[in-house]
Structure 1
């Protein structure tokens, strides 16, 4: 029975690398997958999933108007397409509510497992829209763990930096890398703002 999986972690926890690994494992057995990536979250290009360790894969870009259920269904019903064994979604925090509900239909109506990977909370410790609805709708939720940038505790939060200074105000979505964001534990998060 297919299920909707939500695998979340902070920045640098290896979420995109995990997608590439899962896709490889399916395809090594001759089983086709579809990989989706929201256009808003693309570090490089919306048609690629890229990990910080240097691996990348082709992906289908997702815009606000994309209907994920219809996109998957069109692959399933196409005579030219092979059977789809799994749907993988990168940067799932950037999805909208309708996207998450469409993914539930992929699982429930098309009987295809969906694995969505993304951040849970933003730099202000607020849930992203996609994360919120994945936490509500997912059959299974799993944390992908990494360590705090400053100590040896588990990272559960992210600090956004601007010119080396921690920021806790601004737009929720600002694409950046290690110079802009650091994964941290709760203690180091709070300490950073006490010092600032």
Structure 2
């Protein structure tokens, strides 16, 4: 069934790995998928979806001016649309993807985080939580052993940062996945 899916988690839960596995599964069956990632995320090169496990592949990119409906067209011959770093979608882009899944009967699966290092929601995530037909929380673990559901930013010395721009691209050197208790305690 064609739906808009939002699969969310704290950082380091394997979202990109899962997306790449879904793409592989479709393609192994001879079906065509389109992969997108945020143009702003160039940690592994522009237009690359990469997993911490070492697998990666090229993807199309989206930015604030990107029109998904125009880019995807009729959906003829398309089995699935996969979007990494979905928190960077604009609210209108989430609406486009929801409308596309419903009217073109093509599943759209988005992977991303809900909140930033301050616990503030990303605009794209707010709309994904509101409009998605199917929500799935992916799990990862805090250093204390509890389920991590939040992200913290750290500086080059590992000290927690509490102020700054919402978006600062980085990986394990800049962010930690933590449980809510550690988020508020730290």
Q: TM-score, normalised by structure 2?
A: 0.96
Indicate the SS of the match to 1:17: helix
Q: Where in structure 1 do 4 or more consecutive aligned residues deviate above 4 Å?
A: none
Q: How many Å apart are 1:44 and its aligned residue? A: 2.1
- Aligned to 1:41, the other structure's residue is in SS state coil
- For residues 37-76 of structure 1, what are the structure 2 equivalents within 5 Å? 37-73=37-73, 76=75
> What is the root-mean-square deviation in Å for CA atoms of aligned residues?
1.1
Q: Which structure features the higher share of helix residues?
A: 1
- Unaligned 5+ residue runs, structure 2? none
* Cα separation, 2, equivalents of 1:187 and 1:2: 37
The aligned residue for residue 101 of structure 2 is 107
- The structure number with the bigger radius of gyration is 1
Report the Cα distance in structure 2 between the residues aligned to 1:126 and 1:182, rounded to whole angstroms. Answer: 16
Separation in structure 1 between the aligned mates of residue 47 and residue 41 of structure 2, nearest angstrom: 11
Q: Does 1:15 align with 2:5?
A: no
Runs (5+) with no aligned partner, structure 1: 78-82
Out of 148, 152, 155, the residue aligned to residue 159 of structure 1 is: 152
Task: Give the length in aligned residue pairs.
Answer: 185
Name the CA distance, whole Å, in 2 between partners of 1:86 and 1:42.
24
CA distance in 1, matches of 2:46, 2:35: 11
TM-score between both structures, scaled by the size of structure 1 = 0.91
